[in-house]
Structure 1
Amino acid sequence: MTEAAIYVQGEKSYWLAHVPVLPGCVASGTTREEAVANARRAFGAYRELLETRGVSMEHWKDLDSATFTVRDLPPDRVAPEDLGPLQEHELRDFLHRYEASRSALISLVRGLSPGELERKPTETTWSVREALEHVMETEVTLLSRLERWPDDPFNTLQAVHRLLFQRFIVMEPADTAIDHHFGGRRWTTRKVMRRLLEHEFEHLGQIKETLAALGANRPPE
């Protein structure tokens, strides 16, 4: 096995320490040193979380995070462990870890009252609801990184189109009557549908103006 390392990135009062030898293990801190120390502890905590939910930790059981070297994350934010073709077992392992992590998250928040979801420990920290929204929005963004943009922009647009189309095709009756708050704003099913169409039309016009300003000749619609 390659020598295990902790890769650090950050500035000022926010630092992240990644432990890619066990994908998913990460910790933060207000200083570089604090982030590294937290990452060493997080390695054991993350390993325990996965193991208690049925993910085999045989591959990592003999690793001691106290011995991990510390390195700067490369400028492109890609660790050496992020490179190379995926083996089939890595996809299975990822899905097992993802399911275990999501199970832990759902167990943690299930049954919380609306007040508990909205309450903030301090003015500068997120509420549970805000943290959950951040998780969901970031996962959608990260998923889009699997598309070959900008080398293959049209396939990327089509991939997003397929995701959207599938979501509306499988819509349950309760989904058609959504009326809730998300990201601090009120949303209904009709509003989401309207904004999807509006947003596409708005930027269709923007792109037309850009092409016209560049003198690009486009075929009539």
Structure 2
Amino acid sequence: MTRYAVYLERAEGGLCMAHVPALPGCMVRATGRDEALGALPGAIRAYHAWLRDHGEAAPGEAEPVALEVAGEVEGTGPFNPGDAAALFPSDREPVTPKEMEAHFRLMAHARADLLALAGGLCDEFLDWEPGGGCFTLRRILRHVGNAEEWYVSRLVAPESLPTEWQDDEGMPLWDFLEMERRTALDCLRALSAEERAGVFYPTAWTSHPDEAWTLRKVLRRFLEHEREHTGQVREVLELRRGAILADLHTARQELLAVLSDLDPSCPDPVCGEWALKDVLGHLADWEWFGIDGLRLMSRGEPPLVEPIEDIDAWNRAHAAARRGQPWEVALADLHAAREALLDALQALAPCFLGQKYPFPWGGEGTPVDWLAVYPAHDREHAEELAALAGQRDR
């Protein structure tokens, strides 16, 4: 069994953060003390797995975990930007150069995770606004870098900070993140033995001049902060997935509502030469076609499916192949195609959602761009069918 000392920060409203100093960057935030402590064993096991994934030594998956609350601090906690963070007794321990490099290695793992998740995203994804007060991904990523500069400034006098930081807001995002991390580590490596053991009370760029800082607290916050915001980036990407899922669902419900007002046995043409069941088959055929490309993108590969040179000819050929197909079969295939499409969308790793790929018919786009045609396609035919239903009602 592995036993860990845990320190808690509790805000006035009951919010609680649980920190495990022996596992730098392992932290849980929750709505209350019991909830934080209840979630911590799972967070510790996930941290162990994270260490193993990055080639670090860690307890095995089946290793039991025991917790000991070593301290609680009331009225502090970095729950929001600008909040004061506690200085735990463990944060007062001096940091050796060897320990500092071990922390830097963990920080490199955390940065690699962040870049693997967000480094390939296109500008449209970086600037997408989720709403509900949630920041754009670009703002989150810029905040990660700005916070790291601020952490260093807790230990280093303003006049000694890197000159590159003075005008970095105009730098391209990824160049900025590379620069701030490299220069931040240079600053920390330059600290003297006395500074690596000191307690600092910086007054610049803070509303809490009485907040105490040490190198060990700075290193802890580097890891906690980046790992937490990597999770936030993942959440925003899932919101983006949810938005296209919602649009797909809404458009399909609109189509099915129109279909319910029409007689499926009617052989009359409803779209050019097509009867109603032909429209269902047409919609299904296009979704089956799109699924192949989506599955390729889920592997990080371009959707180089066979390009369709003549869409009208393709539509005619597929309609002819379904000639004689009963309504029930066409409807079942429409549902099956949609289910497969949704499965392929859910299988996409978050990092691929906003990555651009060359499309087989020219240009490029993301999986979301690839999928955007399907709600539009449903609505296009739903409008045609609704107009037809209106004509027959008159």
Q: Could you tell me whether the CA contact under 8 Å between 2:10 and 2:73 is conserved in 1?
A: no
Tell me the secondary structure at the aligned position of residue 48 of structure 2: helix
Q: Distance in 2 between the 1:64 and 1:120 partners?
A: 42
Amino acid at match of 2:5: A
1:98 aligned onto 2:97: no
Per-residue Cα deviation, 1:63-102 (whole angstroms, up to 9, x for no partner): 7444343631377811121122223331121011011111
Amino acid at match of 2:25: G
1:9 aligned onto 2:18: no
| 1:6/1:179 CA distance change after superposition, 3 Å | closer
TM-score by length of structure 2 reads: 0.36
Amino acid at match of 2:88: A
| 1:104/1:61 CA distance change after superposition, 3 Å | same
| 1:64/1:21 CA distance change after superposition, 3 Å | farther
Equivalent residue, structure 1, for 2:124: 115
Tell me the secondary structure at the aligned position of residue 67 of structure 1: strand
TM-score by length of structure 1 reads: 0.60
1:69 aligned onto 2:78: no
| 1:133/1:13 CA distance change after superposition, 3 Å | farther
Per-residue Cα deviation, 1:128-173 (whole angstroms, up to 9, x for no partner): 22221221111111011122xxxxxxxx13312xx115988xx9xx
1:31 aligned onto 2:40: no
Over aligned residues, Cα RMSD in angstroms? 3.4
Equivalent residue, structure 2, for 1:164: 163
Tell me the secondary structure at the aligned position of residue 69 of structure 1: strand
Q: Distance in 2 between the 1:115 and 1:68 partners?
A: 46
Which ranges in structure 2 are unaligned for 5 or more consecutive residues? 77-84, 174-394
Amino acid at match of 1:164: T
| 1:165/1:101 CA distance change after superposition, 3 Å | closer
Per-residue Cα deviation, 1:94-117 (whole angstroms, up to 9, x for no partner): 011011111111101121122322
Q: Distance in 2 between the 1:80 and 1:111 partners?
A: 40
Equivalent residue, structure 1, for 2:138: 129
| 1:5/1:178 CA distance change after superposition, 3 Å | closer
Q: CA deviation at 1:29?
A: 1.4
Amino acid at match of 2:119: R
1:40 aligned onto 2:49: no
Considering fraction of residues, name the structure with more strand: 1
Which ranges in structure 1 are unaligned for 5 or more consecutive residues? 148-155, 181-221
| 1:121/1:165 CA distance change after superposition, 3 Å | closer
| 1:102/1:56 CA distance change after superposition, 3 Å | same
Per-residue Cα deviation, 1:172-196 (whole angstroms, up to 9, x for no partner): xxx9x8588xxxxxxxxxxxxxxxx
Aligned length: 162
